[in-house]
Amino acid sequence: MFDLENSSSYSYSKLKEVTADYIDNYHRENKRDLLYICDFIKNDQRKNVQGLYKKIIKTIDEDEKELARIKKMYNFDISFGDFQYIAGVDEVGRGPLAGPIVAAAVILDLKNINDDNLILGIKDSKKLSSCKREELSKIIKEKALYYKIVDLDNETIDHKGISWCNNEVLKKSATTLDIKPDIILSDGYAIKNVDIRNEFIIKGDDKSISIACASIIAKVYRDKIMEDYAKIYPYYGFESNMGYGTSEHIQGLKKYGPSPIHRFSFIKNIV
């Protein structure tokens, strides 16, 4: 990489060029190279080189913090016992005025984890950008041992009620996996009428890696449905509000009336 002892013999632009790819595409395998660069430039008195040094250190520190955060989420799930299959479940779409309610169940390989196969960046799906959610959803599906997504449409919500539907999608996502879980971790709600041990976790998508993964793939799945509906029913802003009751959505309802995917039990006081 660098074959001279004195970093000042290299221009700043050269140092920046060599390190840019390491920083922009940082992963743990790069750490040794970045630490080597740090040692090489740490005593260089040029201001811009010191800025580069600080940027490298910050990149490494942020990665270490993220690794520790994610390990804590994995360890949270492992702490429930020596189970082969731990399913995390979460739902999305309980509150919107239109569209389905969706739940996902995810079983990760918690028996063979190491620093190199952890899924970094996982958190409550609402705290992620849409692009990041889509990126992580693909990774989760690739790395999960099993996953299942279940939805119930607006007509079922109107007929059965949102509480019943909320429980049903959580239950079905967990019980129709290709393997029966040993335990189900659910976000916020205990699942009724399920014959599998269930632990419900308050703010589970912040604590449990499996629940957070379920939250992400459920959100990506439902958002795609609502984006497709936005092309068919363009008056309500579904592509941005995902069926939630934003001012644009309410205005569309009042002007054009409800669409076939609206939950009539939710909008009876609006139209």
Return binding residues for a divalent metal cation. 90-91, 187
Distance from C-alpha of 217 to C-alpha of 214, rounded to nearest angstrom: 5
Paired strand residues for 106: 88, 147
Distance from C-alpha of 23 to C-alpha of 55, rounded to nearest angstrom: 8
Residue tagged 């279940």 (tokens): 150
Q: Which has the closest alpha carbon to 177: 85, 102, 63? A: 85
Q: What residues are designated binding site? A: 90-91, 187
Q: Could you tell me the two tokens for 4? A: 């001279």
Distance from C-alpha of 109 to C-alpha of 117, rounded to nearest angstrom: 10
Helix (H, G, I), strand (E, B) or coil at 199: strand
Distance from C-alpha of 248 to C-alpha of 262, rounded to nearest angstrom: 15
Distance from C-alpha of 257 to C-alpha of 268, rounded to nearest angstrom: 11
Distance from C-alpha of 126 to C-alpha of 104, rounded to nearest angstrom: 15
Distance from C-alpha of 110 to C-alpha of 83, rounded to nearest angstrom: 9
